[in-house]
Amino acid sequence: KPIFTMEEILNRTIFARCQRRFEELKETILSTTKANIEIDSSIPALKCELLPESTTEEILFISINPFSGFFKVVSYMETCYSQQIENALNRDQTNLIDAINLF
């Protein structure tokens, strides 16, 4: 039987929670857009191509801070829209789709 350390258990728990939240967020975004979204489990992050044939600069990466649980939105092309999406994710998700459509 493998013996897990507390650190391994904590890491697996955080990873599982992030995966669940990414799946929920992916479904929310896909319910109103035709974005190409995948979960990159190596980072872990949600990779969102919101435009058809997005360039690298147009891809949004959404990660989760493992300590606070807050979403972090990163784009190579830092814009105020990235910050609006992050604010919508962490404060009021009713504005999320509007913020994404502005991007």
Q: How confident is the model at residue 3 (pLDDT cuts 50, 70, 90)?
A: confident
Indicate whether 59 belongs to any domain: yes
Residue 99, both tokens:
């913020």
Does 10 reside within a domain? yes
- Please give the pLDDT value at position 13: 92
Q: Taking 90 as the threshold, does the pLDDT of residue 20 lie above it?
A: yes
The answer to whether residue 15 is domain-embedded is: yes
In a domain, 1, yes or no: no
Residue 42 forms part of a structural domain: yes
**Percentages (nearest 5) of helix, strand, coil residues in the chain:** 50, 20, 30
Instruction: Give a yes or no: residue 81 inside a domain.
Output: yes
* Structure confidence by residue, pLDDT tens digits, 45-77: 999 998 888 888 889 999 999 889 999 999 887
**Which pLDDT band, with edges at 50, 70 and 90, does 80 fall under?**
confident
Spacing of C-alpha 38 from chain mean position: 10
SS3 103: coil
The answer to whether position 41 is within a domain reads yes
- Structural domain span for residue 54: 6-102
Mean pLDDT of 41-46: 87
Number of structural domains the chain divides into = 1
Residue 18 lies in a domain: yes
Indicate the pTM of the whole model.
0.83
Looking at residue 89, its pLDDT comes to 94
For residues 98 and 103, give the distance between their C-alpha atoms in angstroms, rounded to a whole number.
9
